């Protein structure tokens, strides 16, 4: 397969710059996985599409204010730090935007806190060692790491968090979950739908187009994921009873399928806590996920490839054309799909 097979045209006017208000007022396209039939709704209607005995799997990761303006200590030149992963109290993996940011260079944050570029990795990735631990000070020092296609200022940081977020460590939000409100989750639970949680801390590579020519040549990003024993048991019980496992977002789907790959019986999930580099594209055999709630994704992205593996490339791209013709909003703050 060529990466170009997963391309489509999207004018910038379709890219949502602000989230829907209220959260569940976003539009929702429903697609039947078996037939490809499409109907149109609002996200608040999702409760009507779920059945007693289903389990809804939520990614409870929480975005950290990971974007930090900084300067080079020696020259005063401006750089921008984007924290990707904390390695210990003072060391972080980060993207550093700026010219010739080399190993050994000193950088200064706005409040004077310093860090040293401990290692230069591929492209703009760097290992930074801060003079002091900064994780607790990020709310005052940092900005939310909105994707580069969102240009509007975010008025409320919590609008780039799900209402059920609790495990800090993500460089981006699991955007399919942004549409849920506490009241909607209560409504879902009252129907007899179980709510299960997993954690996958999202790296920015999630949103990057794939640059390889062939899909199999793409080096997939690695992200930390976790599924706790009690959550795995709840999911397996639903599966054994004939209920559906519904992943809220591609990150939950990736976690669940990784957990299935770890299990002896790959129709079940196994608890784990480790990095996952699972790359799902057409030809993949799905093990656990029966239905998906997701947003509309970037051309040539690994997320578009994952959804193509779930419902078929031509069918998915056809649905995207329908969405464009009806004015759906795309990407992180955009509208949603329910495929099941």
Quick check: 185 pLDDT over 70?
yes
Kindly report, residue by residue over 146-179, the tens digit of the pLDDT.
Answer: 998 999 999 999 999 999 999 999 999 999 999 9
How far apart (Å, rounded) are the C-alpha atoms in residues 171 and 51? 33
Q: Does pLDDT of 206 surpass 70? A: no
Contact status, residue 118 vs residue 102, Cβ threshold 8 Å: no
Q: Confidence class of residue 205 from pLDDT cuts 50, 70 and 90?
A: low
Of 66-70, 217-221, 230-234, 324-328, the least confident: 217-221
Q: What is the DSSP string of 26-45?
A: SEEEEE-TTT--EEEEEGGG
pLDDT for position 221:
82
Please report which confidence band the pLDDT of residue 181 belongs to, taking 50, 70 and 90 as the band edges: very high
Most confident among 18-22, 83-87, 216-220 (mean pLDDT): 18-22
Which has the higher per-residue pLDDT, 63 or 267? 63
Domain 3-63+154-339, what architecture?
3-Layer(aba) Sandwich (3.40)
Q: Can you tell me the distance from the alpha carbon of 143 to that of 81, in angstroms, rounded to the nearest whole number? A: 10
Residues 163 and 185 sit within 8 Å (Cβ to Cβ): yes
Q: Rounded distance, CA 176 to CA 335, Å?
A: 9
pLDDT score, position 208: 66
DSSP state of 110: T
Q: 3-class DSSP state for residue 331?
A: coil
One DSSP character per residue, 152-172 reads: S--S-GGGGS-TT--EEEESS
pLDDT reported for residue 266:
75
At residue 203, the pLDDT reads 85
Cross-strand pairs, 214? 2
Tell me the mean pLDDT in the region 18-34. 97
Instruction: Provide the pLDDT for residue 292.
Output: 98
Mean pLDDT of 210-229: 92
* Cβ proximity of 43 and 132 under 8 Å: no
Closest to 65 measured CA to CA, from 145, 161, 137, 160:
145
pLDDT recorded at residue 263: 87
Stated as kind and residue range, the H or E segment containing 106 is: strand 106-109
In the chain, where the domains are located: 3-63+154-339, 67-141
Indicate if the pLDDT at residue 315 is higher than 70: yes
Tens of pLDDT, residue by residue over 54-94, are 999 999 999 999 999 999 999 999 999 999 999 999 999 99
Lowest mean pLDDT among 18-22, 186-190, 208-212: 208-212
pLDDT (tens digit per residue) in 112-151: 999 999 999 988 999 999 999 999 999 999 999 999 899 9
Rounded distance, CA 229 to CA 237, Å?
12
Sheet order of strands, 55-59 included: 38-42, 27-31, 336-339, 291-295, 245-248, 55-59, 194-200, 223-227, 272-276
CATH class in words for 67-141: mainly beta
Compute the distance between CA of residue 25 and CA of residue 318 in angstroms, rounded to an integer.
24
| Cβ-defined contacts of 266-271 (< 8 Å, 24+) | 267/239, 268/236, 268/239, 269/227, 269/232, 269/235, 269/236, 270/227, 270/232, 271/227, 271/228, 271/229, 271/231, 271/232
The fraction of the chain above a pLDDT of 70, given in percent, is 99
Contacts of 32 (CB under 8 A, 6+ apart): 38, 340
List the single range of 65-79, 196-210, 225-239 with lowest mean pLDDT: 196-210
Judged against a pLDDT cut of 80, whether residue 207 lies above it is answered with no
Spell out the residues 6+ positions from residue 296 whose beta carbon is closer than 8 angstroms to its own: 320, 323, 328, 329, 330, 331, 334, 335, 337
Domains 3-63+154-339 and 67-141 share a fold: no
Q: For the whole model, what pTM was predicted?
A: 0.94
User: How many other β-carbons are positioned within 10 Å of the β-carbon of residue 23?
Assistant: 20
Q: What is the mean pLDDT of the chain?
A: 95
Quickly list H helices, 120-265. Answer: 138-141, 182-190, 229-240, 250-261
Mean pLDDT computed over 215-227 = 92
Q: Please tell me the total number of residues recorded for the chain in this structure.
A: 340
């Amino acid at each position: 397969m060529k990466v170009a097979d997963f391309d489509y045209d999207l004018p910038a006017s379709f890219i949502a710059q602000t989230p829907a208000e209220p959260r569940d007022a976003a539009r929702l396209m429903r697609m039947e996985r078996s037939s490809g039939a499409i109907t149109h709704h609002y996200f608040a209607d999702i409760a009507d599409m779920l059945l007693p005995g289903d389990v809804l799997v939520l990614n409870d990761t929480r975005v950290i204010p990971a974007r930090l303006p900084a300067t080079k200590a020696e020259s005063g030149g401006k750089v921008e730090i984007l924290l990707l992963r904390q390695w210990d109290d003072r060391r972080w993996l980060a993207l550093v935007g700026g010219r010739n940011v080399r190993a050994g260079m000193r950088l200064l944050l706005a409040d004077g806190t310093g860090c040293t570029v401990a290692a230069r990795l591929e492209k703009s990735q760097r290992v930074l060692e801060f003079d002091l631990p900064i994780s607790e000070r990020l709310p005052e020092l940092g900005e939310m790491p909105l994707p580069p296609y969102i240009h509007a200022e975010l008025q409320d940081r919590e609008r780039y968090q799900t209402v059920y977020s609790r495990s800090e460590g993500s460089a981006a939000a699991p955007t399919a979950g942004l549409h849920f409100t506490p009241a909607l989750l209560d409504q879902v639970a009252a129907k007899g739908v179980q709510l299960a949680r997993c954690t996958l801390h999202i790296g920015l590579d999630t949103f990057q187009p794939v640059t390889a020519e062939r899909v199999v040549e793409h080096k997939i990003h690695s992200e930390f994921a976790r599924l706790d024993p009690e959550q795995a048991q709840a999911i397996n019980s639903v599966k054994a009873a004939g209920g559906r496992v519904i992943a809220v977002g591609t990150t939950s789907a990736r976690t669940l399928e990784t957990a299935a790959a770890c299990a002896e019986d790959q129709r079940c999930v196994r608890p784990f806590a480790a990095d996952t580099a699972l790359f799902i594209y057409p030809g993949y055999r799905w093990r656990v996920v029966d239905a998906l709630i997701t947003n509309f994704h970037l051309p040539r992205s690994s997320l578009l490839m994952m959804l193509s593996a779930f419902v078929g490339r031509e069918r998915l791209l056809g649905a995207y054309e329908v969405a464009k013709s009806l004015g759906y909003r795309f990407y992180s703050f955009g509208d949603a799909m329910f495929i099941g």
